A and B are shown apart, each in its own frame.
Chain A
């Protein structure tokens, strides 16, 4: 459904992505792991066109990514990226407000907030009044508000306590299962990988170094991958 071929991106003389090939199937949950600064966020930004790639192609159902992709898309940003000037319910209903009357959009927003475990009392608060974990949930509600077919999650659990992280992971998995959406998740958190992934891809030195299922991942011979999974300082030369 999403097909990335030969994606390359450099900033000045620093090559960040150097020929990334990646596919995301219908209803599949792909998790991209990789060390800090390997270009995971840049990869998502290039796919979305927020950053112009230097080379390579990105196709969605056989056509380049454009406005009708965005209409069926939702994203949870690393720090939620809620709009400070709007109350939570209008953040969640942002896209809906263009499609339906205000009262109805508010109802849907409240339902989505409930889906991520936030009660109606937060609906009229502003993002600044929420804790980091609540903001992330609200961001999740916004990402799924219009029932997208494709969802990206950028480090959904970073900065959360283990319990909140686990509940976000479960939510993401449930949402993917319930809606049949395809998802790409970026994370450092092996707990997220195991909870969310149908397939795992390891980004290293600008390329996909390894990919496979979680079961294959545990059995893989790749030493850097094993270091990454078990949080060991690398013996090999790759990585930072």
Chain B
């Protein structure tokens, strides 16, 4: 008999084991997904369209408004110490390093992780995933790999385009509302932007793509029974993807810029 006083210890121990088990299972899942890159090129192309091309509007609009707001904020904040001129540089660096990848990733998480989880979850509860197995097709290779790779390949592009549009948003505000000269604004944006500012953001984008697609696929493939199970899977996927992106962003920023 284990003394009652040890109950909390047991609970913590059990939770830790569960957590490790979960991490192991997700890691194996991810490895299998990544290994299947070339298995179904047609599906990969379809997912590139779904995840990349169709996310462009939402990522572009997000970047546009973020860049514009950032310009306003930097300007009004910078004026306090007579540094309003730094707007172009800070908008460019802020978008490229941080806001482009993070907000782009979060928008894609909302749009794509939920869609993937709902689609795969529905396939799970309607036995379509079992049907794949009976048709000698590995569900991970057929469903998960194309989505994961499409997200990894697309997100850097989306982030890059978001960076450009965000900087443009800052430029629009700078030129039209803050009295900057257009040519000076563009020149200043370029002058202070370094290669690694942009490249680090693109690398982050690829990592966020992995997180988004993996969350969607994991929760979709493991959806519980019925419509409620699919709903829960969708919610969990978006929450996991969003928190995962923010945590990974912190880790990668620490890794890249310390």
Give A contacts to B, CB under 8 Å. 45, 48-50, 67, 70-71, 73-75, 77-79, 81-85, 94-95, 142
B4 at interface (Cβ–Cβ under 8 A)? no
Contacts of A50 in B (CB 8 A): 130, 133
B182 at interface (Cβ–Cβ under 8 A)? no
Residue total for B at the interface (Cβ-Cβ under 8 A): 13
B166-182 to A contact mask, C-beta < 8 Å, 1/0: 00000000000000000
- In the complex, chain B residues 113-171 whose Cβ is within 8 Å of any chain A Cβ: 119, 122-123, 126-128, 130-131, 133-137
**How many angstroms between the C-alpha atoms of A78 and B126 in the bound complex?**
9
Nearest residue (CB) in A for B134 is A75
- Please tell me if the beta carbons of B127 and A70 are within 8 angstroms of each other in the complex: no
- Please tell me if the beta carbons of B133 and A84 are within 8 angstroms of each other in the complex: no
- Please tell me if the beta carbons of A75 and B131 are within 8 angstroms of each other in the complex: yes
Contacts of A84 in B (CB 8 A): 122-123, 128
Which of these, B119, B131, B136, contacts A81 with CB under 8 Å? Answer: B131
**How many angstroms between the C-alpha atoms of A71 and B135 in the bound complex?**
7
- Please tell me if the beta carbons of B134 and A70 are within 8 angstroms of each other in the complex: yes
Which of these, B123, B127, B133, B135, contacts A95 with CB under 8 Å? Answer: B135
Contacts of B123 in A (CB 8 A): 83-84
- Please tell me if the beta carbons of A48 and B134 are within 8 angstroms of each other in the complex: yes
- Interface hub of A50, A67, A73, A83 (most chain B Cβ within 10 A): A83
Once A79-B126, A81-B126 are accepted as A-B contacts, the answer to whether A70 and B131 lie under 8 Å apart by CB is no
Give the shortest distance, in Å, between B192 (CB) and chain A (any CB). 47
- Please tell me if the beta carbons of B135 and A94 are within 8 angstroms of each other in the complex: yes
Which of these, A67, A81, A142, contacts B130 with CB under 8 Å? Answer: A81
Could you pull out 20 A-B pairs where Cβ atoms are within 8 angstroms?
A: A48-B130, A48-B133, A49-B133, A74-B134, A75-B131, A75-B134, A77-B130, A77-B131, A78-B127, A81-B126, A81-B127, A81-B128, A82-B128, A83-B123, A83-B131, A84-B123, A85-B119, A94-B135, A94-B137, A142-B135
Nearest residue (CB) in B for A45 is B130
- Please tell me if the beta carbons of A79 and B134 are within 8 angstroms of each other in the complex: no
- Interface hub of B119, B123, B126, B131 (most chain A Cβ within 10 A): B131
